[in-house]
Amino acid sequence: MEQQVQEREAEELTLVTRKSCFGLPTACPHSLPVFIYLKLAQIPFRLDFNSIYPDSDQIPYVESGTYVAYNNENDGVIECLKNDGIVDLDSDFHSLPDWVSTKAMISSWLSDAIMYELWVGSDGKSAYEIYYSDLSWPIGKALFLKQVYLVKQRLGITKDNAEQRENKIYKRAKFAYGALSTRLGEQKFLFDDRPSSLDATFLGHALITLYALPESSVLRSRLLEYDNIVRYAETLKLELIESGSSSSGPHFHSVPSSSAPRKGPSSWKSKPKSKSKREKTEEEKTFKKRAKYFLAAQLVAVLLFLSVMGGYDSGDVELDEDDEGFAYD
Amino acid sequence: MDSLLQRMKKGPVSLRVHDVIIKGNTKTKDYIIEAEAEELKSVGSMQELVEASHLVNLKLKALEVFDSVKITLDSGPPELPGTANVIIEVVEAANPLSGQIGAYTKAEARSSTVEGSLKYKNLLGYGDLWDGSLAYGYDHSAEVSAGVYLPRFKGFLSPFTARAYLQSQDWLKFSSYKERSLGLSLGLFSTRHHDLAYNLAWRTLSDPSQMSSRSVRRQLGHNLLSSLKYTFKFNRRDSSMRPMRGFAFASTTQIGGLVPDSRSLRFLRQDFDLRYAVPLGFYRAALNFGISGGFVFPWGNGFLSRPSYLPERLFLGGNISPLTTFGGPTTLWGFKTRGLGPTEPRRQLNDESADPSGVDFVGGDLAVTALADLSFDIPIRWFREKGIHGHAFACAGNVSKLTENAYRDFSIKKFAESLRTSVGVGLVIPTSLFRMELNYCYILKKSDEDRAKSGVWITFSGN
């Protein structure tokens, strides 16, 4: 009975993210866009959390039965879902002139800005709450310090250029907000009044900036200057997150892993080449394994010869009766 | 001298020790040697004194920090008749550094390890032994550690050990995860029968292959392990490599989560092992029986529906002989490492030409194994001289899941019906470095997904 319940749970589409906090279903900048994307596509899914692996780039991931889409494969979970034919909100937008530049702006400037603000810009409390609050203190602290160091390295921040880099990051974020505010205007979504993956990514960024960052945050105050973005964020938050929380619908969209899903051109592989390549490496593997066993057998034979021919030690403990002097006067 | 020996033959010659004089120790603290020589103060006769001196000599040698120990008995001050002085002369180790390489099979390990270590004796003069070691296990595990052994630490009754280690273990092939631990273990109390140790570790589970099954994926991450382990061992067998008579019992209890922090790993694990050997009289034959079992369970809020921690679960199978591992259920003849028990399907890639990924062995919460082994000498003199003997064996075992409410579906009947069994015969070749078994195993009963094969098996166990 319990096993059946668990098996059913495993077949449902499940999104695993970092934990929920600050009133958001998840406050991790990589995870929230995926959540919003699935909500925009109106796909029912379960939400599960992994709060003990803050330094993993595999999270968030989407799973259903034996199918898994990790965030560190194929440019992210959203791209994986597109390529595997599960959901694609962007099919009509690729041809638009601004699409690529807007995408590049969000995924570089805004992504850098939120990363900087969470780990370096603000006091780090928000990042600690999102990533490390469920880990025991010594581990959480050590991983937090390690991550701060890595972020500084990634953003090229050193002691000498810290202030300059900070100004550059905030300036670029402001430009991006301005451009996106103009693009948005009074529409409901960024492009053509229809939801797209860029809405998911930008909305994720905006919600985290508004709700998870402290009030003293510079990035947050920059974003608050654009009323239409704030309205956009709050309206969609109400619609997607607060009404009808991620509870299950009457039916679940289970990903057919056995039947062939629609594949985009990017995932076509040249089959004959890959097959012969794999056969070759299989042969090499078998050969290497056999060579390893042969060498191991030789070594064992030598050791055996030396120790058996050398004599067998029964392993008894012997007490040695040695120097004990008796002196009597 | 002759008259003294005559008197000693007739009966106890009453004597007491006036003073214990210690010579030759430049670095070693006096109280360390005095503590080992406690018996001398309470002797009442010459015979007792001789016996006690012999014992003290052995104890001081066992500290491993002296090159030689000489105990001389002298008469006491002339104004106090019937007293004696004991003079202990020690020569401290000239070369404090020593190294060794060996093959071992630890109780918790599923395979043998080759270990090389460097020891430094008596750095601080407390009889302390410092060592650094590197160990590599056959099951893709590696460990680098440093430790200290203090025979007398601030009045503790038993020796105190502390060890800091960095260990990594690769289970990708069997369960799609890698384990890395950075920790400190303290041996608090250790006597012949009892052992109490505390372990504090930072354990990380990761999956670089990204092919793990669902329940393994859920457990990837960092955890703080703070546990106390108590072992009780009672061994009345004549030998642990080829037991022919006697019985032995071991029980290990481990409680994790002993910090007030509810985020650390909370679990309870109990293992037990019972062995019995009966000699049969002909060809030095002996029948060995053994039964061992274990269970693991999380504790704390909602423990019934939570999963147990993956590395602490019970796994059966491995390339060591079940006869030599004593402490809990570990292996069965004929079954590969982690080769039996609950499984879960791995991730399937969305590529039609990809081979099926197989399954992960995720271990269980309850395991039981039983074995019966008949060992006998081979009637050829050359084999007998080398200690090579034959054996015929049979074993059975099973692993089952109980956590995450699976205990509701559990029944002893189903557990017994799905017992895996195997039988076989073989040759045992003991050497000074390791013990090798060359067996032919026949699997009588196994489950479809088990990794077991009937055929020739070679197992190695460390001494």
Which of A227-231, A241-245, A289-293, B310-314 is predicted with the least confidence, judged by mean pLDDT?
A241-245
Nearest CA-CA partner of A328 in B6, B47, B22, B2: B2
What domains are defined for chain B? 2-92 (3.10.20.310), 225-462 (2.40.160.50)
How do B113-121 and B97-104 pair as beta strands?
antiparallel
What local confidence, expressed as pLDDT, does residue B31 receive?
A: 79
Residue A139 sits in a domain whose CATH number is 1.20.1050.10
Separation between Cα atoms, residue A47 and residue A65, nearest integer Å: 15
What local confidence, expressed as pLDDT, does residue B117 receive?
A: 87
Is the CB of residue B104 less than 8 Å from the CB of residue B463?
A: yes
B462 CB neighbours in chain A (<8 A) are none
Nearest CA-CA partner of B431 in B399, B400, B462: B462
Q: Please indicate, yes or no, if residue A206 is contained in any of the structural domains.
A: yes
Query: Could you tell me the two tokens for B131?
Result: 């060592």
Mean pLDDT computed over A269-288: 61
Asked whether the beta carbons of residue B222 and residue A1 sit closer than 8 angstroms, the reply is no
Of A1, A66, A260, the CB nearest to B347: A66
Query: Which residue on chain B is closest to A313 by alpha carbon?
Result: B432
Q: Please indicate, yes or no, if residue A265 is contained in any of the structural domains.
A: no
Q: Please indicate, yes or no, if residue A110 is contained in any of the structural domains.
A: yes
Query: Could you tell me the two tokens for A306?
Result: 């030396």
What local confidence, expressed as pLDDT, does residue A316 receive?
A: 38
Of B207, B213, B386, the CB nearest to A312: B386
The distance of A24 to chain B (nearest Cα, Å) reads: 22
Preferred mutation among A9, A66, A84, A303 to probe B, highest tally of B CBs within 10 A: A66
DSSP letter at A194 equals B
Separation between Cα atoms, residue A160 and residue A163, nearest integer Å: 8
Q: Per residue of chain B (463 residues), what is the pLDDT tens digit?
A: 666 666 667 777 777 888 888 888 888 888 788 888 887 788 788 888 888 888 888 888 888 788 888 888 888 788 887 788 888 888 888 787 888 887 766 544 455 678 888 888 888 777 788 889 898 887 778 888 888 888 877 667 678 889 999 999 999 989 999 999 999 999 988 888 999 999 999 999 999 999 999 999 999 999 999 999 999 999 998 887 888 889 999 999 999 988 888 788 899 999 999 999 999 888 889 999 999 999 999 988 888 888 899 999 999 988 888 888 888 898 999 999 898 999 999 998 877 666 777 889 999 999 999 999 999 998 888 888 888 999 999 999 999 998 888 888 888 899 999 999 999 999 999 887 788 899 999 999 999 889 998 999 998 887 6
Q: Give chain A's length.
A: 329
A273 CB neighbours in chain B (<8 A) are none
Separation between Cα atoms, residue A191 and residue A212, nearest integer Å: 26
How many CA atoms lie within 13 Å of B338's alpha carbon, on the beta-carbon side? Answer: 22
Asked whether the beta carbons of residue B406 and residue A3 sit closer than 8 angstroms, the reply is yes
Dihedral of alpha carbons A283, A284, A285, A291, sign: positive
What local confidence, expressed as pLDDT, does residue A3 receive?
A: 67
Residue B298: asked if its preceding bond is cis (omega within 30°), the reply is no
Separation between Cα atoms, residue B359 and residue B365, nearest integer Å: 18
Of A53, A67, A134, the CB nearest to B350: A67
Mean pLDDT computed over A281-296: 83
Nearest CA-CA partner of B82 in B174, B177, B15: B15
B223 CB neighbours in chain A (<8 A) are 52, 136, 139
Range of the domain at A197: 14-242
DSSP string, B317-361: --SS-TTT--SS----TTB-TT-BS-EEE-PPPS-TTSPP--EEE
Q: Please indicate, yes or no, if residue A41 is contained in any of the structural domains.
A: yes
Q: Please indicate, yes or no, if residue A72 is contained in any of the structural domains.
A: yes
DSSP letter at A238 equals I
B24: left (phi over 0), alpha (psi -120 to 50) or beta: left
A2 confidence band (pLDDT: 50, 70, 90): low
What local confidence, expressed as pLDDT, does residue B106 receive?
A: 56
Beta bridge partners of A48: A16
- Asked if the model's pLDDT at residue A256 lies above 70, the reply is no
Separation between Cα atoms, residue B363 and residue B313, nearest integer Å: 6
- Asked if the model's pLDDT at residue A57 lies above 60, the reply is yes
A280 confidence band (pLDDT: 50, 70, 90): low
pLDDT digit string, tens, across residues A76-119: 899 999 888 888 888 888 778 788 889 899 999 999 999 999 99
What local confidence, expressed as pLDDT, does residue A317 receive?
A: 36
Burial readout B184-197 (b: 16 or more C-beta within 10 A, e: otherwise): ebebbebeeeebeb
First to last CA, chain A: 88
Preferred mutation among B21, B91, B347 to probe A, highest tally of A CBs within 10 A: B347
A279: helix, coil or strand? Answer: helix
What local confidence, expressed as pLDDT, does residue A279 receive?
A: 58
Is the CB of residue A159 less than 8 Å from the CB of residue A153?
A: no
Residue B149 is inside which H or E element, if any?
Answer: strand B141-150
Query: Could you tell me the two tokens for A11?
Result: 């077949």
What local confidence, expressed as pLDDT, does residue A250 receive?
A: 34
Round the CA-based radius of gyration of chain B to a whole number and report it.
27
Residue ranges of alpha helices (H) inside A12-59 are: 31-40
- Give the list of residues 6+ apart from residue B57 with CB closer than 8 angstroms, or none: A324, B69, B71
A145: helix, coil or strand? Answer: helix
Cα-Cα-Cα-Cα torsion B148, B149, B153, B156, nearest 10 degrees, comes to 130
Separation between Cα atoms, residue B73 and residue A328, nearest integer Å: 7
pLDDT digit string, tens, across residues A60-74: 999 998 899 999 988
What local confidence, expressed as pLDDT, does residue B98 receive?
A: 84
The complex scores an ipTM of: 0.80
- Give the list of residues 6+ apart from residue B71 with CB closer than 8 angstroms, or none: A324, A325, B53, B56, B57, B86, B87, B88, B89
Beta bridge partners of B460: B436
Helix, strand, coil percent values for chain B (each to nearest 5): 15, 50, 40
Asked whether the beta carbons of residue B429 and residue A304 sit closer than 8 angstroms, the reply is yes
- What is each CA distance from B237 to A311, B109, B288, B370, B375, in whole angstroms? 24, 22, 11, 18, 15
Q: Please indicate, yes or no, if residue A308 is contained in any of the structural domains.
A: no
DSSP string, B231-295: EEEEE--S-SSS--SEEEEEEEEEEE--SS-TTS--EEEEEEEEEEEEE-SSTT-EEEEEEEEEE
What local confidence, expressed as pLDDT, does residue A286 receive?
A: 84
Residue with the bigger pLDDT between A295 and A315: it is A295
Beta bridge partners of A16: A48, A61
Q: Please indicate, yes or no, if residue A283 is contained in any of the structural domains.
A: no
Q: What is this structure's pTM?
A: 0.81
Residue keyed to tokens 């793990």: B212
What local confidence, expressed as pLDDT, does residue B318 receive?
A: 86
What local confidence, expressed as pLDDT, does residue B192 receive?
A: 86
Is the CB of residue B347 less than 8 Å from the CB of residue A255?
A: no
Query: Which residue on chain A is closest to B352 by alpha carbon?
Result: A260
If one counts the domains in chain A, the total is 1
Is the CB of residue B96 less than 8 Å from the CB of residue B118?
A: no
Average pLDDT, chain A: 80
Query: Which residue on chain B is closest to A270 by alpha carbon?
Result: B353
What local confidence, expressed as pLDDT, does residue A324 receive?
A: 41
Q: Please indicate, yes or no, if residue A254 is contained in any of the structural domains.
A: no
